[in-house]
Chains A and B, each alone.
Chain A
């Protein structure tokens, strides 16, 4: 690991792809993904989706928060436009992630369409591990390697979501409830842990309160407003707070 990283010779693309898969399966994120997708698979079962639909949503959407929104809103019979707006708002953050990843993948000969697949595989797990490990991968192999780590993580997630789906259908109540509780509990602790900044915690707290209030009030597009109101208020409050802190008392 301490040898100069650029000296690794390029490998055939298949080898790079396979070593990407291995990087996924040996990453701690594989475990985290498995846990959260067991929970999402269980939710999909309770909301009446088929297991094929659940796995397809993992392949196509590939973002755990968006999938939780998709399953719980579509399953509760929300209007399609409300679901689409909520999904797109939750997924804007993929844009800066893709933009930060691609410069690591490009060579002078890279064509735009080769980047579509790594961009599709971009999700928090793949992104964090790629930014960490890519410097050790020869530049010519990076796209294949990224497709490998993305496919590796996605495979874990598909298997876990199918497992959660069938477990939710077969387990007695306290245990099935436990599976369904995985999503809210794990999202809560991971957001509290990952929020380096006050704004993130504030946004979570506000969303947690505003979301149910708007739902109770039967407001149209409740989720979209939860995001815009809770998020903007948190952002404004943290700006105000940091501006006041900079001023001498």
Chain B
């Protein structure tokens, strides 16, 4: 049961959450010089981080936790599609995309009778 102990422990938070992210901030203080935000290495690092976060987002939509799992998969994917379509139709408004996506999810969930 060591995993489930670590799950809620603050030690786990420090070891796998705090240290792996904070190390880069400390390195930034130590190195101290400026790095071009458009340099090749920064572009690659950003692409890796973006793909990773996208993977996590996809997993939340496809294998959702708790309450979201009560909404059928077609409705979750449909809501993502509606939000994205609204974002482009509403002149690239992130707020518009978010509202329409959320509304589609709730309406779909109610219509599905869950």
Contacts and interface: CB of A to CB of B under 8 A. Distances in A.
A217 to B, nearest CB: 13
Contacts of A180: 60, 64-68
Interface string B30-49: 11111101000011111111
A57 B51 contact: no
A191 B92 CA distance: 12
A229 B80 contact: no
Contact of A232 (B3, B48, B79): B48
Contacts of A178: 102, 105-106
Contacts, number: 324
A5 interface: no
Contacts of A73: 56
DSSP majority for the A interface? helix
A69 B52 contact: yes
Contacts of B57: 68, 183-184, 187-188, 208
A213 to B, nearest CB: 9
Nearest to B10: A56
Interface of A: 35, 43, 45-50, 53, 56-57, 60-63, 65-70, 72-77, 80, 83-100, 102-103, 112, 115-116, 119-120, 122, 168, 173-193, 195, 197, 199-200, 202-212, 214-215, 222-224, 226-232, 234-235
13 contacts: A88-B21, A89-B48, A92-B45, A97-B28, A174-B105, A174-B109, A174-B110, A189-B84, A212-B62, A215-B59, A231-B47, A231-B51, A232-B47
